[in-house]
Amino acid sequence: MVWRMKTTRPALFLFGLMCTALPLRGQAADSKGLYQTLYYIPCSTYAEDRKEPENSGKNAVDKIYVSGWLSGYNYLTPNTFDIAPDHNVDKALEWLDGFCAKKPQSSLEAGLLQLTDELYPNRMKEAPSAKPKAPETPFDDIHFHIQDK
């Protein structure tokens, strides 16, 4: 519980920052297309983080960062319900693993920009009209019921 509290607050803060700083070309940058990056992760650092056990330490922080980026992108991009409807965060991380292996001098942010550019044409534009499917884990079940009330 201590670890969760220590990591939850920074994660929520980071998500909030991502939502306010997400670069949407032509919408969220200065006249030259530039913007301030609030949390820079070089590909070399990301590659080291990914060697840690799944869902722990900096590996978990990177997963939260990517989740926040994609969620912020969904929220701030017009006509976008889900930028990666056929992907989950783990698949996005695997794609970023490949990006950083090919471009070790680059950054996680550059990878996310390229990923979202590539996914954009096939994004889900509208929420599905069907009811959400039943959750598969106890945590999801609790969350699902809270949303229904």
Most confident range (mean pLDDT) of 3-7, 55-59, 103-107 is 103-107
Q: Is the pLDDT reported for residue 2 higher than 90?
A: no
Q: Are 76 and 82 in contact (CB under 8 A)?
A: no
Model's pTM, two decimal places? 0.67
Q: Are 80 and 74 in contact (CB under 8 A)?
A: yes
The model's confidence at residue 120, banded by pLDDT at 50, 70 and 90, is very high
Q: Is the pLDDT reported for residue 5 higher than 70?
A: no
Three-state secondary structure string covering 67-131: HHHHHHHHHHCCCCCECCCCCCHHHHHHHHHHHHHHCCCCEHHHHHHHHHHHHHHHCECCCCCCC
Burial class (CB in 10 A: 0-12, 13-18, 19+), 70: buried
Q: What is the pLDDT of residues 68-97, one digit of tens each?
A: 999 999 999 999 999 987 768 999 999 999
Dihedral pair phi/psi, residue 102, rounded to 5°: -80, -30
Place of tokens 């997963």: 63
Give the integer Cα–Cα distance in Å for 100 and 115: 12
Residue spans of beta strands (DSSP E) within 13-82: none
